Structure 1
Amino acid sequence: MSKKRREIPVFDHPIIETHCHLDYLKDRPLADTLDQSRQVNIERIITIAVAPDNLAKVRELTRASDIIYGTQGIHPHDAEQYTDAVEADIRNHTGDERIVAVGEIGLDYFYDNADRDVQRAVFRRQLQIACDADLPVVIHSRDADEDTITILKEFENSLSRRGVIHSFTSGPGLATYALDQGWCLGFNGITTFNKAENVRDIVRMTPIDQILLETDAPFLTPVPYRGRENAPFFLPFVAENIASVKNLSLEQVLSQTYLNSLRTFFPTP
């Protein structure tokens, strides 16, 4: 008989899920995902756009529930699908009430699903959208630390809101640059994986006031639920792990990451 997995812990403090892909979840209806998320005190969920064919879907999801917010942007995997028409679509909705960032944008030299020159050009074009719209950015960077730094340096003076380098698995060089420049780093279930000590090292060096909690659901399900589809309601396991790695109280992690999320995506006027 298999060992029973831990129940998902429920904390008194609300949590903001800063990065998931609700339109990619398949294991249960959206209503069930939202109900289970509310049960573990997930207060808001940001669902992330990645491709031309899901920009509108993300916008639709933000209208499906008062706890769902979204982004608009094209992932580096789909950079070769980026056109003037796609850019116009993104720009036309950066002012939507429930669109809180430009993303997921950036560079991915691990899979190289798009030509690197195209990736860099599309990354720059979308950073400019964020500058023009005064929105934060959700960045994907994999095996592209040097070029990510080079391009971000070009926008240091014009990108006022910064944002997050999500699912951070890069090296200390990119981490140091981003933290010095006021970016947040997003951490998820990877921090619970046995072979992810390099990521935990980055967690240790990251000030708690620059950490965001995310799941990247349906991907990267945290221990003890690896092997199942990820979902926002598994976020409490990420919070527990961050507290353990940083040797902080759970209350410190929950309260500060909540404030970090508000500061990044939901600033008060």
Structure 2
Amino acid sequence: MLVDSHCHLDFPELSEELDEVVRRAELAGVSHMVTISTHIRKFDQIKAIAEGYDNIFCSVGTHPHNADKELDFKADDIAKLAEHPKCVAIGEAGLDYFYDNAPREAQAQGLRAHIDAARMTQLPLVIHSRDADDDMISILKEGMEQGAYPALLHCFSSGRKLAMEALDMGHYVSLSGILTFKRSQEIRDIVADVPLDRLLVETDAPYLAPMPYRGKRNEPAYVAHTAEILAEVKGVSKEEIARITTDNFFRLFSKAKQEI
């Protein structure tokens, strides 16, 4: 069985046929999914999806694109919302210097609040990082100096330095359909050096569909294609990578065990 550790089931591309999306995922061997928050103010919608299915969990947080719109939510506020029994993670939060949809100062402020919430709750922080490796390393290290917190680099497409620094801090790395793209050899080379016990798989659905569905709408069932390529990169069987990444998920997202 596989776990899609990061998808957006509240987005209209998926929410309009959610029952069918979930059914196809289960048929593809995806036992659990985490629908990830991008707006704290929409947490009611996120948690309602998780409440409606035994095998779906959720997170609470603000995507860096929306950081300047939700700076009024402090770490205590995020931690309080995360008490919901189906909420197993903080985020996604981080830095996105590719689009720069929010001021970088606001992104950094929001990220720090989410790090504090992850430390308070000991729920994993789901990190979004794009074209911001040096600043991300600096803020993550700064956060660790104030006390340890669990985290993973979601949809990893960054450089080797960020990956290795995150691993040194005890964090995890999650791979999306990007891993399957022809142009992603550098990412595959980095992943080859990531320990098996730190790897997860995800879709980031409805975005980033893996080969052979690239360019189409993504959905949790397709995580199997990313897992297949990850197995090739790591030199293990598909069955072994499914077992390993699922074990890693439940180790990192430890609150999820309460709802199995």
Work out which of the residue numbers 13, 17, 20 in structure 1 matches 2:7. 20
Task: Name the structure 2 match of 1:163.
Answer: 151
Partner SS, residue 140 of structure 1: strand
Work out the CA distance in 2 between the residues paired with 1:36 and 1:123: 34
Task: Report deviation, 1:254.
Answer: 1.2
> Relative to total residues, which structure has the larger helix share, 1 or 2?
2
Distance in structure 2 (CA, Å) of the matches to 1:69 and 1:123: 22
The aligned counterpart of 2:97 is 109
Q: Check whether the contact 1:104–1:139 (CA below 8 A) recurs between aligned residues.
A: yes
Structure 2 CA distance for partners of 1:159 and 1:236, relative to 1, 3 Å: farther
Residue pair 2:7, 2:206 contacting (<8 A) in 1 also = yes
1:139 Cα deviation from its structure 2 partner? 0.2
- Counterpart in the other structure of 2:190: 202
Partner Cα distance (1:54, 1:100) in 2: 16
Q: Which has the larger radius of gyration?
A: 1
Q: SS in structure 2 opposite 1:164?
A: strand
- Partner of residue 6, structure 1: none
CA distance in 1, matches of 2:73, 2:111: 16
For 2:155 and 2:127, the matched residues in 1 are separated by 9
Q: Secondary structure at the match of 2:99?
A: coil
Q: 2:180 pairs with 170, 192, 203, which one?
A: 192
Return the letter of the residue paired with 2:3: I
- Secondary structure in 2 matching 1:45: strand
**Superposed CA RMSD:** 1.7
Give the alignment's TM-score, normalised by structure 2: 0.93
- Cα drift, residue 160 of structure 1: 3.7
C-alpha distance in 1 between matches for 2:110 and 2:116: 10
Counterpart among 134, 141, 149 of residue 137 in structure 2: 149
Aligned positions of 1:1-269 closer than 5 A: 14-26=1-13, 29-85=17-73, 90-266=78-254
CA distance in 2: counterparts of 1:263 and 1:205, whole angstroms: 20
The one-letter code matched in structure 2 to 1:21 is H
- C-alpha distance in 1, partners of 2:39/2:140? 22
Give the Cα–Cα distance (whole angstroms) in 2 for the partners of residues 163 and 29 of structure 1.
Answer: 31
Once the two structures are superposed, residues 64-112 of structure 1 have per-residue CA deviations (whole angstroms, 9 ceiling, x without a partner) of 1111100000011101101325766533311111100101001011111
- Equivalent-residue separation in structure 2 for 1:159 and 1:15 (angstroms): 32
- State the alpha-carbon separation in 2 of the partners of residues 261 and 201 from structure 1: 22
- Bigger shift: 222-231 or 69-78? 222-231
Q: Percent identity, please.
A: 38
2-structure distance, mates of 1:241, 1:258: 16
2: CA distance, partners of 1:25 / 1:59: 16
Whole-Å Cα distance in 2 between the matches of residues 39 and 54 of structure 1?
29
Q: Which runs of 5+ in 2 are unaligned?
A: none
Q: What's the secondary structure of 1:167's corresponding residue?
A: coil
C-alpha distance in 2 between matches for 1:116 and 1:191: 27
Q: Tell me, yes or no, if the aligned pair for 1:25 and 1:231 is still in contact at 8 Å.
A: no
Q: Distance in 1 between matches of 2:58 and 2:126?
A: 11
CA contact (8 A) 2:188 2:233 kept: yes
Stretches of structure 1 that go unaligned for 5 or more consecutive residues are 1-13
